[in-house]
Amino acid sequence: MHTKTPNAVYLSAPINGLIEGIYRARTTIGELREHGDFGLGTFNRLDGEMVMLDGQVFRMDATGRANSVDDAEQTPFACVTRYRPDTLDEFPEPPDEDLFALATRLLPSPNMLYAVRVDGRFSHVRARSVPPQDTYRPLVEVAREQPEFDYRDMDGTMVGFHTPGFLGGVAVPGLHLHFLSADKTCGGHVLTCLPGRVTVGVQHVPRLVMGLPMTLDFLTSGFERDTARDIAESER
């Protein structure tokens, strides 16, 4: 039974499993929704990038195309919460900085967890996704061959989290964002972004709840890879 967790970030698994190439787990999208209505992640076999927005879950496939996902799909890594912003900052004119710098500047402390949502028009988004994997290579090797996409002058939503550096073994440290277009047809994992007219919402989340996958791959992994180094290459 999955208990609901008010104002907490729920991680279905630590990210170091993904770093090692453990791309299968038993957590379903339906179970994930019990813990939140907002978040990001991936799917079993590393089959695309995930956005959860207002309770709906979308997969951005290796072409960048977005499709809705049903509750039976499974995920090896996802990060969700119930999004209720504490602050909303509007930028009616395009800011003079990239989105990562802008959003990070709005966070009260680097040592806390935050959910970050950005709505509006984006001048340029460079994003990526990944194709499904049949052989489970480490994530950094897959990312070296990732398809990348450029979206220009597009309306949409950024969904993500800021994680303090000292939690870098369980989630992506710093700001981690996924993009979904307003018409819900395309998106991906955000590499760089120049915002246009946007509204940035920030929610301080004081708790972290994490699952540990009861799969043979996870239970027998030696977790020998350098997580910080691999994240720096594969997630940026």
Q: Could you report the per-residue pLDDT of 15-49, keeping only the tens digit for each? A: 999 999 999 999 999 999 999 999 999 999 999 99
**In DSSP terms, which residues pair with 117 in a beta bridge?**
159, 201
DSSP assignment string, 120-132:
EEEEEEEEE----
28 with 73: CB under 8 angstroms? yes
**Residue range 206-216: mean pLDDT, rounded:** 95
| Averaged pLDDT of the chain | 95
pLDDT in tens, 88-136: 999 999 999 999 999 999 999 999 999 999 999 999 999 999 999 987 8
Other Cβ atoms less than 10 A from the Cβ of 234: the count is 21
Residue 235: pLDDT above 80? Answer: no
Question: Is the pLDDT confidence value at 137 over 80?
Answer: yes
pLDDT tens by residue, 65-99: 999 999 999 999 999 999 999 999 999 999 999 99
Q: CATH fold of 8-234, please?
A: 60s Ribosomal Protein L30; Chain: A; (3.30.1330)
Contacts of 145 (CB under 8 A, 6+ apart): none
Percent above pLDDT 90 for the chain: 91
Amino acid 5: pLDDT: 52
